[in-house]
Amino acid sequence: MRRIFSSLVAVVLFLVLALPVFARTGAEDAKGSLLELREKRHELLEKEKERKLEIQNRRGDVREKVASKQAEVKQKVAEKVKELLARAVEHQAKTLERLDRIAEKIASRIDKLQEKGVNTAAAETQLAEAEEAGAAAAAAIAQSKAAVEALEPSSSTTKESVEAAKSSLKDSKQALFAYHKALVETLRELKASKALREGTGAAGP
């Protein structure tokens, strides 16, 4: 009986003495595991940061490419607009040349009628007014040409410059219309003078 009791006491003492050792070993293992888990967590966070940075860089590259493409398209459109406006100016310049030739023919008609004794004073006055309108049209076209040539497709103020050029072309178009109208009035006066002369001649002896 005493032997059994002694054995039990020995076992209990062993367990009491060994428990702190086991507990300490377990604590050390838990701490090590915790540190390992935290290290893995840190690695995951770093990888996530790298992934996000890579995505941002890719987005930045995409935005840069899109912006570059948009700028290229915008410049091409601006160049096309400038080309169209330049053609409009050229068309107006040719129209002015045709009207000038008509004015020259009218002047020649006036001279021939004067030689025949026709009173062309009214037609001459109207032709002078038409010439003034022609000079105004020429100045307006020159201004339109300068406005178009000043366009810079790569400039940030292209839109405003295009609007200014369009407005200038509109003014020169109206000036050409006024020149044409003045020449029509000159022809009307010239025909009236000729008709009056022919009527007077027919009424004579």
- pLDDT tens digits for range 70-110: 667 677 877 888 899 999 999 999 999 999 999 999 999 99
The answer as to whether 45 is a domain residue is no
Tens digit of each residue's pLDDT (9 = 90 or more) over 113-158: 999 889 999 999 999 999 999 999 999 999 999 999 988 877 666 7
The answer as to whether 62 is a domain residue is no
Q: Which two tokens stand for residue 135?
A: 């000079």
Decide if 182 contacts 126 (C-beta within 8 A). yes
Number of domains in the chain: 1
pTM score over 0.85: no
The answer as to whether 112 is a domain residue is yes
Higher pLDDT, 162 or 23: 162
The answer as to whether 84 is a domain residue is yes
The answer as to whether 127 is a domain residue is yes
Instruction: Please report the pLDDT score of residue 205 as a whole number.
Output: 34
The answer as to whether 54 is a domain residue is no
Collapsing DSSP to helix, strand or coil, 159 comes out as helix
Give 119: exposed, middle or buried? Use CB within 10 Å, 0-12, 13-18, 19+. middle
Domain of residue 107, residue span:
77-203
The answer as to whether 169 is a domain residue is yes
The answer as to whether 72 is a domain residue is no
